[in-house]
């Protein structure tokens, strides 16, 4: 069981337009092509020659350049490539009438609360599975929080308890999107604290499991997510990605 590329045409329209507006370019595209399903965006500038030194020396929250320099790159984790997404800031505008569930919606929108001062997006892909329909593709979102970083995970944890029976979202002119179940999953030991949960989405009557892993390292909160639009399996986020990223943020 592992994360899958967004291959299903039927499910893509219903899920990606609302639930994945935050960071996914949806569609049954080739994994190696730019803009492929599951690709992500980088809102931070490319790091300069001294960026790695700046990451280690910077007090408090990282700047946009420092956050980009601290993000995983190809080679940090064996067999995984890391790519930024081209384009602008991938934020969504979904809302829910169930206020207790807004922490989930904020993450879906790409704007976890409290809002980060800088955000960087990466697409992490298992290169040994190139060409496979079930290739492991994980979206990584790094956010720098000048204040309130320690509030992000507790808010999500409270939302898990309050929204176990699901919720709906609505954004712009899009039709409402339904999430039928929320449940906490075992989280790996990574960073200062970690939380994992599953949102069971629905597209044209079919289940669409989405798994999120949120890891805080100091003032940086990193969110990983994977989606299986076929509805066959609960996606799995490889632990080594979160462990390597947390270690890099500490260096």
**Range in 54-63, 71-80, 115-124, 163-172 with the lowest mean pLDDT:** 54-63
Question: What's residue 171's pLDDT?
Answer: 75
Indicate the number of domains in the chain: 1
| Alpha carbons within 13 A on the beta-carbon side of 214 | 24
Whether 74 is covered by a domain: the verdict is yes
Distances (CA, A) of 17 to 132, 166, 177: 24, 19, 9
Question: Which range marks the domain in which residue 210 is found?
Answer: 9-250
Work out the percent of the chain whose per-residue pLDDT is above 70: 70
For the domain that residue 106 is a member of, what is the CATH number?
3.40.1000.70
- Of 43-47, 108-112, 194-198, highest mean pLDDT: 194-198
pTM: 0.78
Q: Is residue 178 part of a domain?
A: yes
- The DSSP 8-state label assigned to residue 96 in this structure reads -
In the DSSP assignment, the letter for residue 16 is H
Classify residue 115: in a domain, yes or no: yes
Q: Kindly state whether residue 3 falls inside one of the protein's structural domains.
A: no
Q: Looking at the domain assignment, is residue 4 inside a domain? A: no
pLDDT at 92: 67
Tell me how far apart the alpha carbons of residues 221 and 30 are, in angstroms, rounded to a whole number: 30
Is 2 among the domain residues?
Answer: no
Residue 219 in domain: yes
């Amino acid at each position: 069981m592992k994360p899958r590329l967004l291959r299903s045409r039927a499910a893509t329209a219903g899920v990606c337009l609302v639930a994945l507006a935050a960071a996914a370019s949806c569609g049954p595209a080739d994994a190696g092509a730019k803009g492929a399903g599951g690709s992500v965006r980088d809102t931070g500038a490319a790091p300069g020659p001294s960026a790695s030194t700046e990451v280690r020396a910077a007090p408090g929250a990282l700047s946009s350049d420092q956050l980009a320099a601290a993000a995983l790159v190809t080679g940090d984790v064996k067999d995984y490539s890391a790519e930024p997404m081209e384009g602008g800031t991938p934020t969504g505008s979904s809302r829910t009438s169930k206020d207790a569930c807004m922490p989930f919606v904020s993450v879906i929108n790409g704007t976890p609360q409290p809002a980060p001062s800088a955000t960087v997006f990466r697409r992490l892909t298992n290169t040994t599975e190139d060409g496979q329909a079930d290739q492991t593709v994980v979206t990584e979102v790094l956010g720098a929080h000048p204040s309130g970083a320690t509030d992000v995970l507790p808010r999500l944890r409270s939302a898990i308890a309050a929204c176990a029976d699901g919720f709906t979202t609505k954004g712009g002119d899009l039709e409402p999107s339904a999430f039928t179940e929320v449940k906490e999953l075992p989280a790996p030991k990574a960073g200062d604290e970690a939380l994992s949960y599953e949102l069971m989405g629905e597209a044209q009557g079919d289940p669409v499991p989405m798994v999120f892993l949120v890891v805080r390292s100091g003032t940086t909160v990193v969110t990983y997510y994977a989606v299986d639009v076929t509805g066959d399996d609960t996606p799995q986020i490889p632990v080594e990605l979160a462990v390597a990223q947390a270690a890099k943020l500490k260096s």
